[in-house]
Chains A and B, each alone.
Chain A
Amino acid sequence: MNWDVVIGIETHVQLQTKTKIFSGASTAFGAEPNTQACVLSIALPGTLPVLNYEAVQCAIKFGLATNAEIAPRSIFARKNYFYPDLPKGYQISQYELPVVGKGLLEIEVGDIKKTVRITRAHLEEDAGKSTHGVVENGTGIDLNRAGTPLLEIVSEPDMTSAAEAVAYAKKLHELVQWIGICDGNMQEGSFRCDINVSIKPKGTDKLGTRREIKNLNSFKFIEQAIHYETQWQIEMLEEGKTIQQATVLFNPETGETKAMRSKEEANDYRYFPDPDLLPLEISDEEISQIKKSMTELPHLMKVRLEKDYQLSSYDASGITSDKHVADYFFATLKEGAEPKQIANWILGQLFSKLNESNLSIEHSPIKPEVLSLLLKRIQDGTISNNGAKQLFEKLWVSPDIEIDAFIESEGLKQVSDSGLIETMIDEVLKNNQAMVDEYRSGKEKAFNALVGQIMKVSKGKANPGQVNDLLKKKLS
């Protein structure tokens, strides 16, 4: 039997605000346990929440970026349950009326474009952390994270494969960083996904029973977990068993998913509107003001790059995958280099060096103005592509060297003197009569071999374009 896979994703995006969502405590990651827990984070008696407007602005930005409805009035509700790292005994979240309503996110898998519907996005506070093994005979509770603002983004079950799910997660990850609402640090838990997976007989409409894979914080895990989960569900059904709705955890060690608890036994959260907070009201003016402050969205920029700079779809995607990459691209462009060439170099040489050194583009030792100068030296024929690559390597370790002086001193300057090149060609033709004959007898390949010989003689410095032209003339 053939099966359809149905996937929906809930993503917890930690918002990049200076202070917590309902208090003035800092949100910085990595502080000593409980040093960023104010009276409110500890939920001392008498403390009250006050909404941090910065978090609301983040939600509005996300709504605008996904073409979503932004609720003029939304409500904070209490989700009640007991857990040691949930200090108030309830989490302040949004339930019936979320701040962001239906939206859309376009994803690409290979050459196929697809639009995933976003159901809603709501603001809520994060819980603290329980750590086992740090306290003798007990569990350590760190409330630094308690009250950190989250935007929970819920998608419709629109994805049909692990590849689509990963594409969605990646696109969302790029977008929230692009609009500056999340630092995207998945290891620190700033971006985590809960994946709902179900399967149904191919082509049928009725959705199967779903299992929710909790708290995945890497794209690789998302992919592995979905593969395993899908296989497991198919096997169950093919053995004639039924799927129980459940929450499952993915174990990266074994690559398996395992049920945590069944939904039937889950808490009754007793949601009700939080009487300590007024309804959140957002005016059209506030929305348009935020809209004005936002930079061009990546999917629009991509279209512009293709249209105005003739970048390929692949290159344009690469450049718009990250705001910092796009910024780097435009900064380099401003210095006068060629757009197509810039894209090639960023996505090629620069990315490979950055990956090698585990650096992000903002921390690249080679700055846009330097890259631009290097590219201009290729354009004006001063150096060859090969020479440029050598120069690039040198600049990576000593970014302050003077480019032109270095080209001179290292002898990277390309030979563009046609007289000199002709001399070299003549020498090579004389010593490689066999190849010349081969070429003349119709073997085109021999031409490239001759070019190779000439370049070798020139120690790679001859201008390849000129070599080509002059050799063709000589042989005709």
Chain B
Amino acid sequence: MKDWSIKEISSLLREKKTSSVEITTDYLQQIKKKNPEINAFITVDESRSLAQAKLADQRIQSGEGDVFTGIPIAQKDIFCAENWLTTCGSKMLHNFVAPYDATVVKKFNEVGAVNLGKTNMDEFAMGSSNETSYFGAVKNPWDLSRVPGGSSGGSAAAIAARMCPGATATDTGGSIRQPASLCGLTGLKPTYGLVSRYGMIAFASSLDQAGPMAKSSEDCAMMMNVMAGFDTKDSTSIDHKKEDYTKNIDQSIEGLKIGLPKEYFAEGLDGDVAKVIEAAIDQYKKLGATIVDISLPNTNLSIPVYYVLAPAEASSNLSRYDGVRFGHRTSQYDDLMDMYCKTRQEGFGEEVKRRILIGTYVLSAGYYDAYYLKAQQIRHLISEDFKKAFQSCDVIMGPTAPSTAFKANEKIDDPVTMYLQDIYTIATNLAGLPGMSIPAGFVNKLPVGIQIIGNYFDEARMLNVAHEFQKATDWHKAIPEGALS
């Protein structure tokens, strides 16, 4: 097994030096070998993947192929895919076979990509360690005793263990960037509204955003070319002009103004992680960037605000899981109320229940103004912080997560500590801004990611900024020990 990038596979396929069936077979074998210990996939369906690969090869042969035709990727199990089990990491949907394709899945199907399978995730994307999945925890390929991050931990671990060259992921408060950081990958959470949410199972609708996860910025750019675009099926989708994210990825970043928010380097950040980030910033200076000190004064409010708004929306979004029409239904019940209670008691895990309770509470009569409404007002202030910051810089940088991958079971019983994992990523979701994490170095053989936050719809520039760094460094090329053996 060679460690191909998406870009390399694309060239090989187009030069007809290999076939999609061949590449897909390699990855399916790697999944067979590695998945039992990593648990990155919930569903793998070899025959369907190979059938897609065959069709892709035919397209390439007939000269109809797109740059993405024949490339195998994995889909986070939050995306509905027609006739695929789509669980969202929950017992509630353990038996749910989606009858339709999410727009993201549809777009990959249309360009002829191959679906290698559905990746594990925290239940309903609620978690930062991939330990809340009904289908078992995912392990970090860099250290099997540690978590891969979450909620897109399955996608991250699958790429890190070279079971796929790229995967889709979603990010509500850091669920693309934090696992990318903890698994040594490149992940992009686009501007809210740039990628359609249709068919992506909702956690917190005003914050959820799908994005790519891969090994390099170039690969993410290629995936973005497929994923981004206006969708009439999603009312919050934005009719932004179609861009080619690979086009200017190679540009010099001479003169780039990087804002460093002092709040992102304050107490709570691991000292060794801070050093890695500082070294990466030095690298950027060498590439011609200048540094601007900025402040995002409401950073410390982002977690409390998030944990009012996200659960509020989730409590409502998850009401449809009532056992009436699909998914889990308890086997024995006395009446309707009993059926509801038992079904939801059995179908949801602890963390999901906790958030439904929080959300129900903050929306209740008498509490709504004090919690939900207040949180919305602060959310606005947080957006204003960024608006002001971007007047003096082009991109904002800082750590993605406060530490490297932590030990399994270390924080699972301490939700508030777990929530602090997202301290640097949550604000961008609240503001709807794009954020990215790229590998910046290691601490004790564990990857550390640096976060790049851009202005609205500035993904092309962010990918360029990331790519220039990756041209000058090799951090993103590091492979977990034994991954290819």
Contacts and interface: CB of A to CB of B under 8 A. Distances in A.
Partners in one complex: yes
Interface of A: 39, 42-51, 78, 80, 82, 84, 87-90, 141, 268, 270-272, 275-278
B353 to A, nearest CB: 15
B326 A44 contact: yes
B313 A275 contact: yes
A88 B319 contact: yes
B4 interface: no
A416 B204 CA distance: 86
A78 B320 CA distance: 13
A48 B233 contact: yes
B325 A268 contact: no
B12 to A, nearest CB: 34
B86 interface: yes
Contacts of A42: 325-326
B198 A43 contact: no
A90 B319 contact: yes
The 3 closest A-B pairs by CB, nearest first: A89-B319, A275-B206, A270-B363
A48 B235 contact: yes
12 contacts: A39-B99, A44-B100, A45-B80, A46-B80, A46-B86, A46-B202, A48-B198, A82-B319, A88-B319, A89-B316, A89-B319, A270-B316
A84 B339 CA distance: 11
Nearest to B199: A46
B171 interface: no
A48 B96 contact: no
B365 A268 contact: yes
B92 to A, nearest CB: 9
A39 B340 CA distance: 22
Contacts of A47: 198-199
Given A268-B365, A270-B364, A272-B372, A45 B312 contact: no
B320 A46 contact: no
Interface of B: 79-80, 86, 88, 93, 96, 98-100, 102, 197-202, 204-206, 232-236, 312-313, 315-316, 318-320, 322, 324-326, 336, 340, 360, 363-365, 368, 372
Nearest to B234: A48
Contact of B324 (A48, A78, A84): A84
Nearest to A79: B316
Given A82-B319, A272-B368, A50 B96 contact: no
A51 B80 CA distance: 22
Contact of A44 (B99, B235, B313, B316): B99
Contacts of B200: 46
Contact of A89 (B99, B102, B322): B322
A49 B320 CA distance: 14
Nearest to B202: A46
Contacts of B322: 82, 84, 89
A87 B327 CA distance: 13
Given A88-B320, A270-B363, A46 B234 contact: no
A89 B364 contact: no
B89 to A, nearest CB: 12
Given A80-B319, A89-B320, 15 more contacts: A39-B99, A44-B99, A44-B100, A45-B98, A46-B102, A46-B198, A48-B198, A50-B235, A80-B363, A84-B324, A88-B319, A90-B316, A270-B368, A277-B235, A278-B236
Q: Most chain-B Cβ atoms within 10 A of its Cβ — which of A39, A46, A90, A272? A: A46
Given A89-B322, A268-B365, A45 B201 contact: yes
A349 to B, nearest CB: 53
A252 to B, nearest CB: 27
B90 to A, nearest CB: 10
A396 to B, nearest CB: 51
B235 A87 contact: no
A268 B319 contact: no
A81 B88 CA distance: 23
Contacts of A44: 80, 98-100, 326
B301 to A, nearest CB: 20
Nearest to A272: B363
A48 B100 contact: no
B201 A84 contact: no
A46 B336 CA distance: 25
A45 B324 CA distance: 13
Contacts of A49: 235
Contacts of B313: 275
A87 B233 CA distance: 19
A47 B197 CA distance: 9
Contact of A48 (B88, B197, B360, B364): B197
A182 B98 CA distance: 36
A90 B319 CA distance: 7
Q: Most chain-B Cβ atoms within 10 A of its Cβ — which of A50, A88, A272? A: A272
A275 B79 CA distance: 19
A124 B336 CA distance: 26
Contact of A45 (B86, B205, B234, B372): B86
A50 B102 contact: no
A167 B236 CA distance: 43
A208 to B, nearest CB: 24
B206 A87 contact: no
B378 to A, nearest CB: 16
A45 B93 contact: yes
Contacts of A270: 315-316, 360, 363-365, 368
Contacts of B234: 48, 50
Contacts of A271: 363
Contacts of A87: 320, 324-325
A276 B201 CA distance: 12
A176 B141 CA distance: 65
Nearest to B327: A45
Nearest to B198: A48
Given A39-B100, A45-B86, A277-B235, A78 B201 contact: no
Contacts of B315: 80, 270
A84 B363 CA distance: 22
A276 B325 contact: no
B88 A45 contact: yes
A351 to B, nearest CB: 47
Contacts of B202: 45-46, 276
A50 B232 contact: yes
Contacts of B340: 82
B99 A43 contact: no
A203 B311 CA distance: 50
A44 B101 CA distance: 12
A44 B97 CA distance: 11
Contacts of A46: 79-80, 86, 98, 102, 198-202
A295 to B, nearest CB: 32
A90 B360 CA distance: 13
A78 B316 contact: yes
A47 B320 CA distance: 11
B325 A51 contact: no
A271 B363 CA distance: 7
Nearest to A88: B320
Nearest to B340: A82
B355 to A, nearest CB: 14
A45 B77 CA distance: 12
A44 B82 CA distance: 12
Contacts of A50: 232-235
Given A46-B199, A88-B320, A89-B322, A268 B205 contact: no
A90 B314 CA distance: 12
